[in-house]
Structure 1
C-alpha cells in the first residue's frame, strides 16, 4: 500500500545560519513520501539560495516567494501549493528527529480523523537555555505524553507550532491558515480545541526546538503578552464563559490589571480577588478588590487565575479542589 503524501509548510526569513540543518533533518526522515514547501518571506541573507540549491537535488523540496508579507501570508501561500493528505508545519531554524513523520502518520492512521498528532519537544540554545524555557518544555511534554494539552490551554500555547500533523480535511474544517489573528500558532491551537480534535498522546521527542535572541517569537510585537491575553479572552468568552455565573479574577498584578481592562472594555462583569493586603478594599478601574474568601459569597462562580507565583498557584488549585471545582469548567489558569 502506498504511503499518503505529507505536506510540510515552512515559512522562512533570514535563517541562513540554520536552514541547512532543518532541510537535512527532513531529508533524513524514515518516512519518504513528503513535500517540503518553503516560502521565502523577503529574506535579505542567503536563505533563498540555500533552499534553491536543495530543490535542484531533491524534487520533494519546493521553493516559492511569499505572495504578500508576514508569517500568516507565508503560511497561506505554502498551503496553496500543498497537495498532501496530511498537513504539518515546521520552522526553518528547527530540527526534526528522524522518525517524526513516520510516528505522526502512524498515529493518525491508527486513530483516524478528528485527531491531532503532536510530539515531545526538546529546546536547545547555543549559549544554554533559560530556566523559563526549560520549565515550558517540561510542562508541554507532561501534557503531550497524556494527550491532555487542552486542559491548560489558557496558560500558554499547548500545541508546539512546528510539531503537529492533521488530516487535510480536518485542517480545512477548522479554518486552516485562513485566520489573520496573531499569535497565529496559539490561535490555531484554540481552533483545534474548538473543533474538538483529540490530541494523540506521544512519549517520543519529535522536534529539537531552537531558541536564540533574534527569533521572531522573542522580538515581534505580535507575540507580546497583551496579544496573548486578548486571544485568551476571545476564546474564553466564546468557548468556556457562562454568563449566567459570576466571574472572578484572581490576582491584581500586571496581568490581572490587563485582563480587567480587556473585560471592562467588553462590558463583562467580574469580581476581583487578591491576597495583597495593600490592595484589598481598594479600587482599581473603579472595581473593588476583595480577599479570596469573598469567593464563597458568590453562587457557582467561574474563576480566571492570573497569579504567576507557582507556589501560590498550587495553593489556589488545592483550594478549588477542596470546593469540588473542576478545571476548564469552574476555573482557568491564565498564567
Structure 2
C-alpha cells in the first residue's frame, strides 16, 4: 500500500470547465511532487465531471469526489474527509498556481513549526481599471505577510485569499472546520482559528494568480455581501475585545453607515459609549444619547478602548497616524474594524 501524500490539494468545482484544465495543470506541474488533488464536483452540468474522470484516469494522483449540487461548504467537507495529506491546500477551478507554490509553503511550515496556516502573495488576474475595488483589496491583502500583521488586521477584511492557503490538517480536529451559514465560510474560519491562537503567515512571493471572473461566488452569493462580513466579524471582534478585559468601546466614525455596522457589536455584549469624528458638523452632538467628539477630545490611551470603523480610502491610515501620535498602541488601545 502506498504512503499517503504529504499535501492534499482541495479543489471544489461546479461548472468550471472553461478554466479547469489551466487550474489542474498548474497543480500537476508543481515542483513539490508529493501531492494528491481532491476534486469535488458539486453537481456540474457542463462536462466538468467527465473531464475530471478522464484526468483521474491519466494521473492517479487526481481523485474525483462527485456529489449532487449541495453548495461550497458541503463540497469542502467532502474534500477534507477524503484528503489524506498532513497539509491541505485550497485551490479554485478558475485560479492558477505558480510551479513553486506548494514547495514554498511546505518550506515555510518546516522553517516555522509554530505556523498553522501558510498563504502567499497573490496576483490579481483581472482588469485593474474596471474592477479597481477588488484590485485594491488584493494590494491590501499582499501587504499582510507576518503573523502579527495578519492578526492585527483581521477585523478589517479577510486577510487571506482562500485559494492561496495551505493549512495543517490537525487544525480541523482541534478547532473545527468550515461552517455553513449566512456568512463567508473562509473568513469565519480564519477569524475562529486566529481567536484560538493559530498563527498564520505568508510566503512573500506571488505564487497564485487569483482570477477575477464574473461567476466568482464573491460577486453573486449573498454570503459574501459586505454586510455579511460585518455581521460575522462583529461576533469575533466582540469576543476579542471582551478577552482584552473591555466591554465599553468608542467608535471612530459617526456617519450613518458606520453606526449601522458598529451596532452589530451591541448584539454581542459590547456597549458603545462614544463616537469620534473629524467632521466638525458632527462633533459636540449626541447620537441616541451617545456623545460625538473630535479626535482632540478623546481620553488618554488606556482610559477607553477604541474601534476604527472608517473605510474611506486613506481614512484608516489617517486614523492610525492620529492615534499613534497621541501614544495609542494598536492591539492594546485600539483596533481597526472596517
Same fold (TM over 0.5): yes
Change (3 A) 1:116 1:294: same
Equivalent position SS for 1:53: helix
RMSD, matched Cα? 2.5
Please report the TM-score for the alignment, with normalisation by the length of structure 2: 0.89
Mapped contact 1:306–1:333 kept (Cα < 8 A): yes
Aligned twin of 1:12: 13
Aligned to 1:320: 323
Contact 1:7 / 1:83 at 8 angstroms: preserved in 2?
yes
SS in structure 2 at match of 1:19: helix
Alpha-carbon distance in structure 2 between the residues aligned to 1:94 and 1:289: 46
Q: Name the TM-score, length of structure 1 as normaliser.
A: 0.90
1:258 to 257, 260, 270: 260
Say whether the 8 Å CA contact 2:122–2:208 is kept in structure 1.
yes
Range that drifts further, 281-290 or 206-215: 281-290
Q: Number of matched residues?
A: 334
Distance (Å, rounded) in 2 between the aligned partners of 1:307 and 1:200: 26
- Structure 1 unmatched ranges of 5 or more: none
8 Å contact from structure 1 (residues 6, 34) kept in 2: yes
1:254 CA drift (Å): 4.9
Q: For 2:121 and 2:62, how far apart are their aligned partners in 1?
A: 25
Q: Aligned to 1:18, what secondary structure does the other structure show?
A: helix
**Greater Cα offset, 299-308 or 21-30:** 299-308
Q: Which runs of 5+ in 2 are unaligned?
A: none
Is contact 2:123–2:208 with CA below 8 Å preserved after alignment? yes
1:205 shift after superposition: 1.3
Residue 174 of structure 2 aligns with which residue? 173
Q: Which residue of 2 aligns with 1:249?
A: 251
Give the C-alpha shift of residue 113 in structure 1. 4.8
Q: Does 1:330 align with 2:299?
A: no
Contact preservation (8 Å) 2:53, 2:64: yes
Deviates more, 1:281-290 or 1:152-161: 281-290
Contact conserved, 2:238 with 2:268, CA < 8 A, in 1? no
Q: Report if aligned partners of 1:7, 1:84 keep a CA contact under 8 Å in 2.
A: yes
Q: Separation in 2 of the partners of 1:77 and 1:3?
A: 18
Asked if 2 retains the 8 angstrom alpha-carbon contact of 1:274 and 1:289, the reply is: yes
